Every structure is written in C-alpha cells, then in structure tokens.
C-alpha cells in the first residue's frame, strides 16, 4: 500500500518551492538549471500571462515542442491554472496536427520555432506562444514570463479533474483524446519511482519526448520523488553517454533501439556509464542479446518495464531477475494485474496461460473523449490493455502479442486505422487495410504497409508511389507507409 502525500503535481511544487527552494530540479543539455523555487516562479508568471487570455479551470493549453525547460515550465503553468495540458508530438504535421488541435480546441498553443515555422498555416487559427520566435501574430514566451505579475495562488482542482490529454489511444486503436486526472499525474509517476527506489540522491536522464508517456513518466517520477532531472531535446548515441558522465546520471530509461546504439558504440569504455545504477527499456520488446550484452559490457542492469498511454507504467522487472530475458516484470506497487480470457474478460486465467492483461490502478486513465470507446476499454472497473501476456510461477509477465490493432516502429505507436482513413480519401481507393511488416533489424520493429483495392476505373492508372506520397505528405515520419500492395480482395476484412 502506498501512502500518497499529495493529490496533484502543483501541491508537490508548492511544498518543494518552500522547503527546497534552492535545490536544483532540472538541468538541460546546455547546462542551464532550474531550482524548485525558480520553476514555481516562472510557471506562476507564465500562468499569470495565460490567464489574461482567459485560460482557467477546465480549459486546454496545447504544448507542441521538443524536450526543453520551456516545455516543463509550460506544463506547470497549465496545471497552476487548473487547465488541461494537451501534449502533442512535435513531429505531428499537416492534417494530423490540424485534427488534434481542432479536436482539443485549446485556448492557447505553446510551440517552439521548428513547429511554428513548419506549420504556419495550421497554427494561424490559434493564439500561439512561440519559444525562440515571435512577431507576425506570435507571442513571445520570454516576454510573457516577465510581462505581468505571477498568478496569486494556484487554482484549486479536484483530484479527478483532467490535467493531461494525449492522443495515443492505443486500446481504442485510433488517434483520440486520452484523459488523465491531476491525481494520476502524481500517483502514477510516484508508484513507478517507488518500484525502482527512486530517491533525492538520484539523477534521471530524460531523452524520450514528453509527448510520449515514457518521457513524461521519467520527468514526473524524478519530480515527485525529489530526484534531479536532466532533460535532452533528443536522444543521440554519442551525446547521451557524455550526459550520463557529466551529470552523474543514476537512472536512464529508453527504448530498445537506444540501448542497441549505445552498445554498438565501440568507442565507449566499459566504465563509460559507471554512474548508472539502473537502465530501463520499454515501448518495444528488448532483444536478449541487448539486455545481457549491456550488463556484461557496462556492468549496469538493463531491465524491462511495461506501460501504455492509458495507464503510465504498470510493471517493472525486478533487478534480482536481471538475467531473465523477455519478461516485462511484475506489478509495481499500487497496481493490480490479472490475465483474462481475451474473448471473455470475466474469466481469469492461471499461470502459463496466454491471455489479455487487465489492470487496476489509481493512475489508470479517466477515459477517452469517446464514451463508447471508454466503455469498451473497461470491464467491471478493470482496464483491458489489448496486450496478450503470460505469467510464470515467479509472477513475471511475458509479452505474447496484441489483441488491439497497433504497429510499433522504433517505439512509436502507429494506428493502422488512421492511415486507412487517409488512404480512403484518395479517389482511386475503394478499400484499404494497413498492417505491420517486421523490419530486417528487429530493434526497429514493424514497418507500415498497405493492401489496397482500387476502383475499377483507376486500375492501371495509379501507381503505388502516388498513394504512398498521398499518405506520407500528411503524417509524421514514423507513420509513413513503406509499401503498397495492390490486391483484388483485402487479406482481412
């Protein structure tokens, strides 16, 4: 049983800003730092400016930027106002971005230069705060930090108010709002920190994007457990080991491809990562050779953990089982897990039986924006994850596939239905089915491919390249179709 001291992240920040005001919480890759006191001061000032634009309790603020101090300040400013932070992947482009913004209807969009310059037309419909860019209708982030007095005190929120919105609705299998409460923003990261014994002596490196549940969980776990966080804009196989050395990083989480690239960097000495006490991998299966090779070379345990957008982290592989490959571990404190019949979730399955993982935890999502999809995602209060697993006699879980329709590419989730909808907009396409093909490199995961039935009048007149370009000009790089197969009948209806 976990004793939760707080109800939301703002309560934590208020406490830390008084009791640990001068302690450094956040450092970026340039070496700039923020203490708890400075984080609260800047977030409160930004909140004061955003309140002038009628942002308040229950409203939405879209945050579209790569990892940065400004992104963290924007998150806390949003929560100080009692609003919901809509975290959108900065790689989201064109129609994808337009849909997510029009669907969430934010009062304000906070974005960095690269997003603003690339998506001028889409963003022109919104009040935009720019990081590193201003003018031509774009408000300056830095000016807003100093233009008005900070907000008097944070807006009071209920623990079940929505504080976070993501658009990776994996269980539903399409791009849709996933709602997390203010309490889940605190309790989920806190429980993960409990599982890996995160404490104020630790330093956590955050390279996964905050727009992905992995990156946000890393950041917030460090925050609620009183540890230091070092944030990098992107992962780089050469820069990351140097950041680990320079800042004495003790905990680092990433996707398998990151660990493969570090392991393949032959310039690294065996003691290059000596400050690490723990490395964690998630978002895709970790190859046994990577897991065991990482420990053999660097002496750092590399273990798997499992989570999803709808439920933060649910399992961690105990370090005492670090030599066991293929397992995602067992339930973290506060989470209840069971294996159920995929066709009848009322039937619980025993050890050794493959079934669907069902979960209960205080940090499981409040729901989707679609009530019907929310109802389908739960059974008697248990979240049906859509992931097939089996449990051994030690209580360790092993991933065995998915019931839901999802493709994983380099740890990114891709929803086939989203790509099918775009394909169906082309006048030549009668039917479309998107699926994943395994890449030659197992660490990459699957590549999206499509089976397409053309309308009779377009047969022989439309090339696969035309359809691929039609889709790929509208989606982020990781969602791009790699092949199209023209067929007379879809392989699966």
In a domain, 335, yes or no: yes
* pLDDT attached to residue 403: 85
The pLDDT-based confidence of 73 (bands split at 50, 70, 90) is very high
* 250 and 287 housed in the same domain: yes
Instruction: Sort 355 into a burial class: Cβ within 10 Å, 0-12 / 13-18 / 19+.
Output: buried
Mean pLDDT for the chain? 95
* 186 and 320 housed in the same domain: yes
* 377 and 228 housed in the same domain: yes
Question: Are the C-beta atoms of 59 and 83 separated by less than 8 Å?
Answer: yes
Is the confidence at residue 461, as pLDDT, over 60?
yes
Is the confidence at residue 389, as pLDDT, over 70?
yes
Question: Are the C-beta atoms of 231 and 26 separated by less than 8 Å?
Answer: yes
Quick one: average pLDDT of 209-215?
96
Residues belonging to the chain: 493
* 76 and 123 housed in the same domain: yes
Separation between Cα atoms, residue 335 and residue 191, nearest integer Å:
9
Is the confidence at residue 234, as pLDDT, over 90?
yes
Q: Give the chain's domain count.
A: 3
* 394 and 444 housed in the same domain: no
- The residue among 188, 180, 208, 200 whose CA lies nearest residue 90 is 208
* 450 and 370 housed in the same domain: no
Separation between Cα atoms, residue 458 and residue 19, nearest integer Å:
69
Residue 449 DSSP SS3: strand
* 343 and 212 housed in the same domain: yes
Rg (CA), the chain: 22
* 190 and 337 housed in the same domain: yes
Quick one: average pLDDT of 194-214?
97
Q: What are the φ/ψ torsions at residue 440 (nearest 5 degrees)?
A: -60, -40
* 83 and 219 housed in the same domain: no
Report the DSSP beta bridge partners of residue 438: 446
Is the confidence at residue 282, as pLDDT, over 90?
yes
Is the confidence at residue 492, as pLDDT, over 80?
no
Residue 399 DSSP SS3: strand
Is the confidence at residue 146, as pLDDT, over 90?
no
CA dist 252 to 32, 34, 237, 273, Å? 20, 20, 13, 10
Question: Are the C-beta atoms of 41 and 150 separated by less than 8 Å?
Answer: yes
Question: Which one of 371, 402, 433 terminates a domain?
Answer: 402
Is the confidence at residue 134, as pLDDT, over 90?
no
Domain CATH number, residue 203:
3.40.50.12780
Residue 125 lies in domain: 9-157
Question: Are the C-beta atoms of 155 and 56 separated by less than 8 Å?
Answer: yes
Other C-beta atoms lying within 10 Å of the C-beta of residue 201: 11
Instruction: Sort 153 into a burial class: Cβ within 10 Å, 0-12 / 13-18 / 19+.
Output: exposed
Pair type for strands 108-112 and 24-28: unpaired
pTM assigned to the model? 0.92
Question: Are the C-beta atoms of 221 and 204 separated by less than 8 Å?
Answer: yes
Query: E-assigned strands of 207-247?
Result: 228-231
* pLDDT attached to residue 493: 55
| pLDDT tens-digit map of 417-431 | 999 999 999 999 999
**What's the distance, CA 218 to chain centroid?**
10
Separation between Cα atoms, residue 240 and residue 237, nearest integer Å:
6
Residue 206 DSSP SS3: strand
Q: What are the φ/ψ torsions at residue 80 (nearest 5 degrees)?
A: -60, -30
| pLDDT tens-digit map of 46-72 | 999 999 999 999 999 999 999 999 999
In a domain, 165, yes or no: no
Weakest mean pLDDT among 47-56, 300-309, 378-387, 435-444: 435-444
* 146 and 53 housed in the same domain: yes
């Amino acid at each position: 049983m976990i004793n939760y001291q707080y109800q939301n992240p703002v309560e934590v920040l208020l406490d830390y800003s008084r009791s640990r005001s001068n302690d450094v919480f956040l450092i970026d890759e340039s070496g700039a730092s923020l203490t708890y006191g400075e984080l609260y001061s800047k977030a409160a000032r930004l909140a004061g400016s955003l309140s002038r634009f009628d942002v308040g309790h229950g409203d939405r603020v879209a945050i579209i930027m790569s990892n940065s101090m400004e992104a963290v300040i924007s998150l806390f400013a949003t929560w100080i106002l009692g609003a919901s932070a809509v975290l959108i992947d900065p790689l989201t482009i064109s129609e994808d971005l337009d849909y997510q913004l029009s669907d969430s209807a934010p009062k304000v969009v906070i974005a960095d230069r690269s997003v603003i310059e690339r998506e001028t037309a889409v963003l022109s419909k919104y009040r935009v705060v720019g990081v590193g860019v201003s003018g031509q209708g774009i408000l300056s982030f830095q000016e807003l930090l100093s233009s008005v007095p900070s907000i008097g005190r944070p807006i009071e929120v209920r623990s079940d108010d929505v504080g976070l919105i993501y658009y990776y609705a994996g269980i539903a299998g399409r791009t849709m709002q996933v709602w997390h409460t203010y309490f889940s923003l605190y309790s989920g990261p806190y429980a993960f920190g409990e599982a890996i014994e995160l404490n104020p002596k630790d330093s956590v490196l955050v390279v996964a994007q905050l727009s992905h549940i992995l990156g946000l969980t890393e950041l917030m776990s460090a925050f609620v457990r009183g540890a230091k966080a070092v944030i990098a804009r992107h992962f780089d196989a050469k820069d990351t080991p140097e950041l680990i050395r320079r800042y004495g990083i003790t905990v680092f989480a990433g996707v398998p491809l990151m660990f493969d690239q570090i392991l393949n960097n032959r310039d690294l000495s065996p003691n290059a990562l000596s400050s690490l006490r723990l490395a964690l991998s998630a978002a895709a299966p970790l190859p046994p050779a990577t897991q065991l090779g990482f420990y053999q070379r660097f002496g750092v345990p590399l273990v798997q953990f499992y989570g999803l957008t709808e439920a933060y982290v649910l399992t961690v592989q105990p370090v005492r089982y670090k030599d066991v490959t293929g397992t995602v571990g067992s339930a973290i404190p506060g989470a209840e897990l069971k294996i159920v019949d995929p066709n009848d979730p009322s039937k619980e399955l025993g050890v050794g039986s493959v079934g669907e993982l069902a979960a209960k935890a205080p940090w499981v999502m409040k729901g989707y924006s679609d009530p019907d999809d929310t109802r389908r995602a739960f059974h008697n209060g248990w979240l049906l994850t859509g992931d097939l697993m089996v449990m051994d006699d030690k209580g360790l879980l092993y991933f065995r596939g998915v019931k839901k329709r999802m493709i994983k590419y380099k740890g990114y989730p891709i929803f086939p239905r989203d790509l099918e909808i775009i394909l169906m907009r082309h006048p030549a396409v009668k039917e479309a089915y998107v699926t994943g093909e395994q890449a030659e490199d197992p660490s990459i995961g699957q590549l999206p491919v499509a089976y397409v039935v053309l309308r009779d009048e377009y047969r022989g007149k439309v090339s696969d390249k035309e359809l691929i370009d039609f889709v790929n000009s509208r989606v982020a790089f990781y969602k791009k179709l790699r092949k199209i197969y023209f067929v007379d009948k879809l392989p699966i209806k």
